Amino acid sequence: MDDLVAAGSIKTKEVEAAFRAVPRHLFAPEVSLQDAYADDIVRTKQDQHGITVSSVSAPWLQATMLEQAGISPGMRVLEVGSGGYNAALIAELVGPTGAVTTMDIDADVTERAHHCLAAAGYDQVHVVLADAEHGVPEHAPYDRIIVTAGAWDIPPAWTDQLAPDGRIVVPLRMRGLSRTVALTPRDGVLVSLDHQMAGFVPVRGDGAHPERLVQLHDADVGLRFDEQAPELDAAALRAALLAPRVEAWSGVRFGGMEPFDGLLLWLASSLDDYGLLSRARSPTARELVDPVSPIGTPTAVEADSFAYLTLRKVEDGDDTYEFGAYAHGPDAARLAGLVVTQVQAWNRTHRDASPATISVWPATTPAEALPPGRVIAKRHRIVVLSWS
């Protein structure tokens, strides 16, 4: 707990008190006491392929989202994605005059949450088995809606069931990148108050939206596309990966502990033909590609060529690195230059400036009414990434 306060994940006395009050180990009976209180997720259910479909989130991330939510005593709160522990934290924050509803599409998950909440003394929490796409209208309106599963879109039910001055905190996927975003209504539009880097298991049910995966080398290396993908020649891209790479360097440096999630979001908003390069944590994959993140690195992609963000250690610096690009294919040099140019643009104008504003508009909004920025069309909404 003290570590979460020192790291800045917990900022307020109210959230700190909630964390100290709720016995986390009662919501993680599958693991040891040490693992239950570690600053890491506790996996509670996997599918037939061994992929995690439900978990108790890491404490730092739960604290971050609760701070984003700004929950006060007496509020009505809906939690989408139920593990039990987070609902108990919310119950502490709303107090005896508030109300908490936690929902999940999986009967195993809701049954487990109900049992754990009762064991910990939080049986006042409403546990509902339902698809998140439709919310829980019988307990609405909600002052806060906190989504603890990765959402590709924001369904109408969430805003319909939100109080006029309410707030939605949601891990929103935008061009493959996930950010936990605190959104508040403003003249029919949801506008971000804050956003932080985060990752969650994806929403299931009617709101699910699978990514398109183009495998470049068996299961070792792939390109992921979240929305509309460019026209690709998969065979040519696979051949390009095995050809010698081109590299370009930006001259932009950063310290080893300095976050650069703003750069990743900038590349997602500034590159037109765009995907995420992912690699397995295997020796073969490491020999083939060296992205800044194996989970997903912004990549400029065209039919038969691609270039992705990378970094190298600066020899004359202590824990200092330089951003650059590795590229493959006939158009490698141009695409590497494009990525490096955008890194330099971010360094000049956005590195020390305000973060991007994320606004969420109805899908029927005409193009001329949208603000300047990267427009991301979804099923129910249009998301716009705008930079000052």
Q: Which helix (H) or strand (E) holds 45?
A: strand 42-46
302 SS3 class: coil
Q: Enumerate residues 6+ apart whose C-beta is below 8 A from 231.
A: 303
Catalytic site includes residue 305: no
Q: Which residue, among 170, 185, 193, 172, has the nearest Cα to 265 in the 3D structure?
A: 172
Q: Using CA atoms, how far apart are residues 167 and 182, in angstroms rounded to an integer?
A: 7
SS3 230: coil
Determine the residue type at 363.
A
Rounded Cα distance, 381 and 322, in Å: 37
Neighbours of 10 (CB within 10 A): 26
The DSSP call for residue 275 is E
Q: What one-letter code names the amino acid at 262? A: G
> Whole-angstrom Cα distance, residue 362 to residue 276?
26
Residue for token pair 């987070």: 86
The residue behind tokens 């194996």 is 294
- Dist CA 262 CA 217 (whole Å): 29
Which entry of 9, 32, 54, 293 is annotated as an active-site residue? 54
Cβ(65)–Cβ(180) below 8 Å? yes
Q: How many CB atoms lie within 10 A of CB 384?
A: 22
Sign for the pseudo-dihedral over CA of 252, 256, 259, 263: positive
Q: Give dist(CA 22, CA 13) in Å, integer.
A: 14
Residues annotated catalytic, as ranges? 54
